[in-house]
């Protein structure tokens, strides 16, 4: 359903009225298109403290030119911030330039891992999180602010390319930790998944369909999985993307075996997207509503992941990306079952990620969407829908492609340093913020 308020605020009378009444003034976001694959403008590079990182080669390849009077993006290297004195350099660096960042621009702060052995440095580095999240809430005009913690500039290339591009339009206020992992630069950064196979569950429509489309755009051979009742839609999506479809109930006890049998040559990317809702307050929730949601959203993810890892279907260098939800992080009235299932996905990711990387060379991450414009949210009563759209720093709902772009970044062969992360795609929602 079209966001009429967003359209209205883009007009001169809308801007005047909303400004006078103190209402949200969302800016139309710049998203990736083949015609506009990069942000409009240059990149401004700043430093706070003394950094040992050589970011120049990575940033030179990010697709942005030299900074102009209104840079499209600002990268502040704050890895050398180690005390309150060098924290002052963060203010000194960004204070003069924040207002000049272009609409739909990006601010990316680079930090170091928080070192518990040095409490002064740990305090200063932790302070960057509060700074980034607060700046994201006040910067406005469709601009986003994120923090990346890293020790190796080369390992950050896929992450910086994502955050400094239109692909990350609805990702703000996030803290991303980069660790150890095999980073494989693709032959073609425009088609990084060429030669790779990706399976997306619940891909016949909605967010799953958008994920399948985006992975196919990036070169993957996509397997579209959905329930038998949606087979016609799944087949149509697969044919349009040049992939194949697989009709099965993901909760079936033998689902993992059937997926493995359908993929004798192996799998590179596994996207757990299938999910259902059965919303009611706990006092009114029948047991079958609880168990069905937990089985689809969490039980099937656990069983199929275990089965595919045990059978070696997921190849070394593979990626597992699960769809969580901000409801699982912040809770939501009427969704105790759904929130429990999505919080369980987060627990799975955090526990499995180090072991899967060590034993199989596979990363495990999750994407947690906020209010995304789908047929499901279009059915929400008007006032609740409007509240969901406005209760974030970008003052609007996201699109399925925003979630899909984040999946594609996590599935990237050069994203091996991104592991065990739960990335919110919510426009920096006020829920749980």
Residue in the structure block whose two tokens are 């509240």: 387
**How far apart, in whole angstroms, are the C-alpha atoms of residue 411 and residue 419?**
11
CA atoms within 13 A on the CB side of 125: 22
Residue in the structure block whose two tokens are 């489309």: 213
Give the single-character DSSP code of 156. G
Residue 313's SS3 state is coil
Residue in the structure block whose two tokens are 């180090």: 354
Return the H-helix or E-strand segment holding 399.
none
Give the single-character DSSP code of 145. E
Pairing of strands 175-177, 197-201: unpaired
Look at residues 311, 252, 275 and name the one whose alpha carbon lies nearest to residue 201. 275
**How far apart, in whole angstroms, are the C-alpha atoms of residue 272 and residue 364?**
11
Angle subtended at Cα 377 by Cα 282 and Cα 401, rounded to the nearest 5 degrees: 125
User: Which residues, at least 6 apart from 407, have a Cβ–Cβ distance to it below 8 Å?
Assistant: 211, 214, 215, 271, 321, 323, 367
Catalytic residue among 5, 131, 162, 338: 338
Q: Is 5 a catalytic residue?
A: no
Q: Residues 327, 329, 334, 336: what is their CA dihedral angle, to the nearest 10 degrees?
A: 120
Look at residues 430, 270, 385 and name the one whose alpha carbon lies nearest to residue 5. 385
* Per-residue H/E/C for 25-60: CCCCCCCCCCCCCCCCCEEEEEEEECCCCCCHHHHH
Structure tokens at 404: 């899909």
Look at residues 210, 201, 136 and name the one whose alpha carbon lies nearest to residue 173. 136
Q: Catalytic residue numbers?
A: 338
């Amino acid at each position: 359903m079209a966001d009429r308020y967003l359209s209205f605020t883009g007009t001169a009378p809308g801007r005047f009225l909303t400004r006078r009444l103190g209402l949200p003034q969302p800016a139309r976001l710049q998203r990736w298109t083949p015609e506009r694959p990069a942000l409009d403008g240059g990149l401004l590079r700043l430093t706070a403290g003394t950094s040992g990182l050589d970011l120049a080669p990575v940033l030179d390849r990010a697709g942005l030119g030299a900074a102009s009077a209104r840079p499209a993006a600002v990268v502040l290297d704050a890895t050398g911030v180690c005390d309150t004195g060098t924290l002052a350099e963060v203010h000194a660096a960004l204070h003069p330039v924040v207002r000049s960042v272009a609409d739909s621009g990006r601010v990316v702060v680079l930090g170091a891992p928080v070192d518990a052995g040095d409490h002064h440095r740990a305090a200063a580095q932790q302070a960057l999180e509060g700074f980034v999240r607060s700046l994201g809430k006040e910067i406005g005009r469709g601009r986003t602010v994120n923090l990346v913690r890293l020790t190796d500039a080369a390992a950050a290339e896929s992450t910086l390319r994502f955050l400094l591009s239109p692909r990350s339009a609805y990702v703000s206020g996030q803290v991303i930790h980069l660790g150890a992992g095999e980073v494989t630069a693709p032959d073609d950064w425009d088609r990084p998944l060429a030669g790779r196979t990706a399976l997306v569950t619940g891909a016949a429509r909605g967010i799953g369909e958008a994920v399948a489309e985006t992975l196919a755009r990036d070169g993957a051979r996509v397997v579209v999985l959905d329930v038998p009742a949606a087979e016609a839609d799944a087949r149509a999506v697969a044919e349009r993307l040049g992939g194949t479809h697989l009709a099965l109930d993901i909760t079936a006890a033998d689902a993992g075996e059937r997926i493995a049998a359908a993929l004798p040559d192996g799998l590179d990317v596994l996207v757990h997207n299938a999910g259902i809702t059965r919303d009611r307050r706990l006092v009114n929730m029948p047991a079958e509503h609880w168990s069905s949601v937990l089985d689809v959203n969490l039980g099937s993810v656990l069983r199929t992941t275990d089965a595919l890892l045990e059978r070696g279907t997921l190849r070394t260098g593979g990626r597992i990306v699960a769809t969580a939800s901000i409801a699982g992080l912040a809770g939501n009235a009427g969704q105790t079952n759904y929130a429990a299932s999505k919080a369980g996905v987060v627990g799975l990711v955090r526990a499995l990620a180090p072991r899967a990387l060590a034993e199989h060379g596979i990363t495990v991450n999750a994407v947690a969407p906020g209010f995304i414009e789908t047929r499901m949210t279009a059915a929400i009563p008007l006032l609740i829908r409007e509240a969901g759209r406005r209760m974030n720093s970008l003052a609007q709902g996201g699109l399925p492609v925003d979630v899909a772009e984040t999946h594609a970044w996590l599935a990237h062969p050069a994203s091996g340093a991104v592991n065990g992360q739960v990335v919110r795609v919510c426009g920096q929602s006020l829920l749980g913020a």
